[in-house]
Structure 1
Amino acid sequence: MLHSDRSTHIAKPPFTASEQLATHLQQLSVDLIDLHLVGKQAHWNVVGLNFRDLHLALDEVVDAAREFSDQVAERMRAVYVTPDGRAATVAAQSSLPDLPTGEVNTAQAVDLVAASLYAVAGTARRIHDDVDAEDPTTADILHAIIERLEQLAWMIDSENRVANASLPRPVLR
């Protein structure tokens, strides 16, 4: 039977997000959206040594950021949170460092993109315990985000590292 009066619809989900969970997921969402934008901006404007490899690696960053931002936003909707991915919101709420305008040398782009990847991974790590305490299912999404973004950061950051001299130093076993 179809209901013509939608004001009477009542859903009974087993879980809805708290205000804290909503705030945490909104922060992660805007950081992921901004990471996509940072990746494209660097992708379009990077020049210099090892250009092609970095240009292609930036596509991986963009693809991961877009996939994860969609996954987080859809999870938000599943737990009755309305994501806000508007440009003005992303600009106001993002915790990522700014990228310069114009061309960026590959070495500088490596540092800037690695910093952005680590910033988003840092957001996911910062909110993880609160998210896990309230909703372990959503925390599982954070695990995948952290794992992939830290892997991408390591790979990109390695372009500028100097063996056994850069910080942080690797743990030797």
Structure 2
Amino acid sequence: MNAVSAPAVLPSFTATPELADALQHALVDVTSLSLVTKQIHWNVVGPNFRDIHLGLDEVVTIARDASDTIAERMRAVNAVPDGRPEAVAGSTLPTAPADLTIVAEAVTYEVAAINAVVTTLRDIHKVVDETDAMSSGIIEDITLRLEQQAWFLSSQNYTA
């Protein structure tokens, strides 16, 4: 396949290699989050199934929106996003259960998966913030939304 030649006019800002790598890392993890969350969504069973099932779809929506936002930001700053399966396979998320999963275990897994993404986002924040404040705002927004979902879900497993 032939490579596309560079446009006549480049964006006014071009990502540094460090910024591109940081955004790619975020892209991989949020894309993976959408996939593993759907896996849990399809296979969760037990008490309060419906609420968790629907709550997991909220996480999927956030993760899918985040992956699109990050990838489009990468293109806007002349970086090339990679969302191919082999790239996403390199995510930092824990492996999702392959079988039916009881609600409490599904919640525990999902919170761990969200926290893995949030850790990535917090780890890359400094380099993103130092090189592109606009991209930093995107990372901050995604982090806030995911942390809120982790709180919502973890409250399901709370016991007095």
TM-score normalised according to structure 1 size? 0.87
Tell me the CA shift for residue 135 of structure 1.
0.2
Tell me how far apart the structure 1 counterparts of residues 78 and 58 of structure 2 sit (CA, whole Å). 30
Structure 2 residue aligned with 1:31: 29
- Are the aligned partners of 2:10 and 2:78 in contact in 1 as well (CA < 8 Å)? no
Tell me how far apart the structure 2 counterparts of residues 116 and 106 of structure 1 sit (CA, whole Å). 15
- Of structures 1 and 2, the larger Rg is shown by 1
Structure 2 residue aligned with 1:13: 11
Structure 1 residue aligned with 2:76: 78
Aligned match for 2:116, one of 115, 119, 137: 119
Query: Which runs of no fewer than 5 residues in structure 2 stay unpaired?
Result: none
Partner of 2:20, secondary structure, is helix
Tell me the CA shift for residue 102 of structure 1.
1.2
Partner of 2:78, secondary structure, is coil
Structure 1 residue aligned with 2:100: 103
2:135 maps to 1:138? yes
Tell me how far apart the structure 1 counterparts of residues 86 and 6 of structure 2 sit (CA, whole Å). 34
User: What is the aligned-residue RMSD (CA, Å)?
Assistant: 1.4
Tell me the CA shift for residue 15 of structure 1.
1.1
Detail structure 1 runs of 4+ shifted over 6 Å in the superposition: none
Structure 2 residue aligned with 1:167: none
Tell me how far apart the structure 1 counterparts of residues 12 and 32 of structure 2 sit (CA, whole Å). 32
Tell me: CA distance 1:8–1:86, structure 2 relative to 1, closer, same or farther (3 Å): closer
Tell me how far apart the structure 1 counterparts of residues 113 and 5 of structure 2 sit (CA, whole Å). 44
Tell me the CA shift for residue 9 of structure 1.
4.8
2:53 maps to 1:44? no
Tell me: CA distance 1:110–1:77, structure 2 relative to 1, closer, same or farther (3 Å): same
Q: Alignment length, in residue pairs?
A: 157
- What fraction of aligned residue pairs are identical, expressed as a percent? 50
Tell me how far apart the structure 2 counterparts of residues 142 and 126 of structure 1 sit (CA, whole Å). 11
Tell me how far apart the structure 2 counterparts of residues 58 and 70 of structure 1 sit (CA, whole Å). 18
Structure showing greater relative contact order (alpha-carbon pairs closer than 8 Å, 6 or more residues apart) = 2
Tell me: CA distance 1:29–1:8, structure 2 relative to 1, closer, same or farther (3 Å): closer
TM-score normalised according to structure 2 size? 0.94
Tell me the CA shift for residue 10 of structure 1.
2.7
Tell me how far apart the structure 2 counterparts of residues 63 and 32 of structure 1 sit (CA, whole Å). 11
Tell me the CA shift for residue 14 of structure 1.
2.2
